[in-house]
Amino acid sequence: MELTRTFSDEQYALALDSWAFLDLDGKVPVFTSPFGDVFFQAADGFWWLDTLEGTLTRPWSGADALQAELNTEDGQDQYLLAGLAFGAAQQGVVPSGDEVYSFAHPPQLGGELTLDNVEVMDFVVSLNILGQIHTQIRDLPPGTPISGITVT
Predicted pLDDT of residue 9: 97
Burial class (CB in 10 A: 0-12, 13-18, 19+), 125: middle
Structure pTM? Answer: 0.93
Predicted pLDDT of residue 4: 96
Q: What are phi and psi of 15, to 5 degrees?
A: -65, -35
- Over 80: is that where the pLDDT of 150 sits? no
95-136 pLDDT, tens digit per residue, is: 999 999 999 999 988 899 999 999 999 999 999 999 999 998
